Amino acid sequence: AVNEDAIKLNETLRTQDETLEKSLPELQSEADRMITELRSRALNVQEKIAQDELKNAEDLLDKVKKLFGEPSEKNEDLKNEVWEKLANYHAKVDDARDLLREATSKIREADHLSAVN
pLDDT tens-place string over residues 6-40: 777 777 666 555 545 667 788 788 888 888 887 77
Domain of residue 40: give its range: 24-116
* Residue at 11 is within a domain: no
* Residue at 95 is within a domain: yes
* Residue at 12 is within a domain: no
pLDDT tens-place string over residues 73-85: 888 889 999 999 9
Q: The pTM is what? A: 0.42
* Residue at 108 is within a domain: yes
* Residue at 5 is within a domain: no
* Residue at 98 is within a domain: yes
* Residue at 90 is within a domain: yes
Cβ-count burial 85-115 (b if 16+ within 10 Å, e if not): eeeeeeeeeeeeeeeeeeeeeeeeeeeeeee
Q: How far apart are the C-alpha atoms of 85 and 93, rounded to whole Å?
A: 12
* Residue at 69 is within a domain: yes
Count of the separate structural domains present in the chain: 1
**Which stretches does DSSP call E strand in the chain?**
none
Closest CA to 9 of 41, 32, 43: 32
